[in-house]
Amino acid sequence: MMGKSERKRKKDRALLVQTLAVTGLVGSTWRLPGLIKTMGQNEDTLLPDTALPPVSVIVPARNEAANIERCARSLLAQDYPDFELIVVNDGSTDATPAILQRIAAEDDRLKVVTLDGELPPGWAGKPHAMQMGYETARPDSRYILFSDADTFHFPVALRTAVSAAVRGHSDLLSAMTSLELKTFWENVLMPLAIMGILVQYPPDKVNRPDSKVALANGQFLLLKREAFEAVGGYGGKLKGSLLDDRDMALAIKANGGKLRLINGQKLASVRMYTGLRDVWQGFRKNAFVGSRAPYLSVPLFVLASVWLGVLPFLQVPYALWRWLGGDKPARRLLLHSLLQVGLIVTARRRFDRRLDVPALYAWASPLSNLIFSGILVDSMVRSLTGQGVSWKGRNYAGAAKTQQLIK
C-alpha cells in the first residue's frame, strides 16, 4: 500500500502540474489584448473620393425588425461617394418588410430583395440570402461589403475599410467590431467567446500569407469582387456553410488571396445577443463545427475549463476551511489555489478592458467557463448525433458534415 508520505508527494506533484497548466493557459491569452490593439495599425489613411471604387453593401435580414432600421440608416449615412445598399428580406414574418419598404421610399440607394418559400436543396439560409443579394448588385462594383443586420456602422466605416483594402491590395478585409454589452450575461459570456476565437485564430497568423489560419467576421466582411467570384461566391462549396464568414476566408486564402483582419472598434458596433438564452442558441449552432480540429479541441477545452478555469475557485474555500480547521498541509493547497485564481482573474481583466467590460466581471470567469463548456457539449452532441441546430426558424441537420474546408 502507498504510504502517507508517498500520497503527499503525489498530491503535491498534481497541485504543481495544475499551477503550471494554469500559468500556461494564462500565457496563451496574455498577448491577445496587444494583438487587438495593434490589428490594422496604419490603416487610417483615407483615400480621396476620386480614388474610391464603387461598392455594393449587402445585408441579409430574417426577422430583424428590432435591428434593421438602425443598421440600414447607419449604412445610408456613410461618408462614401458611390455605393448601393441591398437588403435581402429572407422570408421575414415580422415587421422587417414594412420597415424596409418605408426606408426605401425615402432613399433610392436602398434596394430590397425579397425571398419567399423554402430554401433550395443544399443551401443554408444566410449564404443563400447573401448570394441572391450579390446577383442583384450593380456590375461595376469593385468591392462587396457583407454585413449582419444587427450591426451599426459609424459614418467613416466604409471609406476606412475600402481605403485600407485598396492600399493593402487585400482580397478580403474584415473587421473585429466593437461589442455592445448591456446585460449581466453579455458581460460574463461574450469576452470568453471572443477570447476563444482569437486563441484558435490569432490575427497575426490570419494576416500572414504563409499561414493556413483564416478568419473573417460576418458583421463586417469586405471582398474584392474578382476574389469573391474566383471561389464561386456563396453558390459553390459554401452554400451550406453555417460559418459563412470563416469559410469564405479559408476559400479566399486557399485560392492565393490576401486576407486582412483589422481592429474595427471604431468602424462598427454590434449587440449580438441580449441574454443567456440568446448566447446559448447563437453559439450552439456553430461552436463545434467552428472549432479547429473540433474532435480534439472541444473535449480538451471542456476539460481545461473545468480543471483549470473552475476548480481553482472551488479549491480556495475548501482549502481555507481545512486550514482553519487545523489541517496544516491544506496551506499549500490554499496558496497554490490563490495563485491560480489571481492569474486567471488578472488575465481575464486584461482582456475585458479591451472590450470595456466592468472590472468585477473578471471574477465571473468560472461561471463563463462552465456555461461555455455546456454550450460546446450541446453543440457537439447535436452535430454528431445528426440532430443539427436550429437558427432563425430553420433546422440544419448533420451540421458537422457541412464544414469541410478547414480539414
Beta-strand pair 83-90/55-61:
parallel
DSSP state string for 302-326 = HHHHHHHHTHHHHHHHHHHHHHHTT
pLDDT score recorded for residue 359: 95
Spatial distance between the Cα atoms of 87 and 137, rounded to a whole number of angstroms: 11
pLDDT score recorded for residue 405: 37
Kind plus residue range of the DSSP H or E element containing 188: helix 184-200
Neighbours of 395 (CB within 10 A): 10
Q: Is 151 helix (H, G, I), strand (E, B) or coil?
A: strand
CATH number of 40-284: 3.90.550.10
Each domain of the chain, given as residue ranges in start order, spans 8-33+294-382, 40-284
First-to-last C-alpha distance (Å) of the chain:
48
pTM: 0.90
pLDDT along the chain (407 residues), means of 10: 72 89 90 77 77 97 96 98 97 96 96 92 94 97 97 97 95 96 95 91 93 95 98 94 94 96 94 91 82 81 91 95 91 94 96 93 96 91 78 67 40
CA-nearest of 121, 115, 59 to 90 is 115
Spatial distance between the Cα atoms of 299 and 278, rounded to a whole number of angstroms: 23
Q: Is 9 helix (H, G, I), strand (E, B) or coil?
A: helix
Spatial distance between the Cα atoms of 61 and 269, rounded to a whole number of angstroms: 17
Write down the residue that cell numbers 457583407 correspond to: 146
pLDDT score recorded for residue 91: 93
